[in-house]
Amino acid sequence: MKSSNLDLHKNTISEFHNNLMVYYDLVKDKQEQNKDFDSVVNIRSLILPEMTLSEEFIEDRTILRDKENGKPRNWGTKREWRDYMVSKGYNTENTKMYYVDHDNVDDNLLTALHTLPIKHPVFSVNIQPPGSVVPAHEDTWRIWRDKYPEEAKRHTFDNTVFFIVFLTPQEIGHSFQCGTTNIKWGPGDVIEMPYYTKHATANAGFTNKIVVQCLGIRE
């Protein structure tokens, strides 16, 4: 149920994390109000440096993982979302994802990413293996809020910027969909989308699909 006390344009990111299901309701309204939101997906390119992904820094980020930091995962106000995903057939096996946390991203890659127009960034390298999907969803900026808790108390979602940087070529079977737009990409391509954009990815190919999720505040 929506709360008249929360407004995407006025309330902070931190405030919404006390009731994420309200956030999901409001972004759906935002999508209805901006039916042409697909058209604001912007393509730019980034010169990718020589880089390495050290296996010691790759962590499990499976979408419907049961545990976090060795303990049963606390879904909090996202439990309703989790239960809906499970009811549709999504599970720990078909939503596998791995990632490299911002603090462990290759230095050369970080230097390139910092050329993007973004303040207080969180750069996460997402590695999607063959046979895995990420169900259609809107991001909630949880990882960003955890890294910048004080900034999350100051900024609304309207202040945010959201980039995806593609690190690997698009193989047949690799897909990334923003709204109704199916993205075509090459290594170094960047897309920008509004925070309220529903998006989904899949890997029906035979090689890992690797992107960088870039969350932050617009310059």
Q: What is the pLDDT of residues 91-120, one digit of tens each?
A: 999 999 999 999 999 999 999 999 999 999
pLDDT of 1 > 50? The answer is no
Q: Print the domain residue range for 96.
A: 13-218
Residue 1 inside a domain? The answer is no
pLDDT of 185 > 50? The answer is yes
The residue type of 86 is V
- pTM: predicted TM-score of the whole model, two decimal places: 0.93
Sign of the dihedral defined by the CA atoms of residues 154, 114, 99, 178, in that order: positive
Residue 2 inside a domain? The answer is no
Beta strand residue intervals within the chain, DSSP E: 42-45, 58-60, 67-68, 71-72, 98-100, 118-128, 132-137, 160-166, 174-178, 181-182, 189-192, 199-203, 209-218
What pLDDT digit, counting tens, does each position of 122-137 carry? 999 999 999 999 999 9
pLDDT of 200 > 80? The answer is yes
Mean pLDDT of all residues belonging to the chain: 92
CB atoms within 10 A of CB 157: 23
The total of structural domains in the chain comes to 1
pLDDT of 2 > 60? The answer is no
What pLDDT digit, counting tens, does each position of 140-160 carry? 999 999 999 999 999 999 999
pLDDT of 37 > 70? The answer is no
pLDDT of 62 > 90? The answer is yes
CATH of the domain at 186: 2.60.120.10
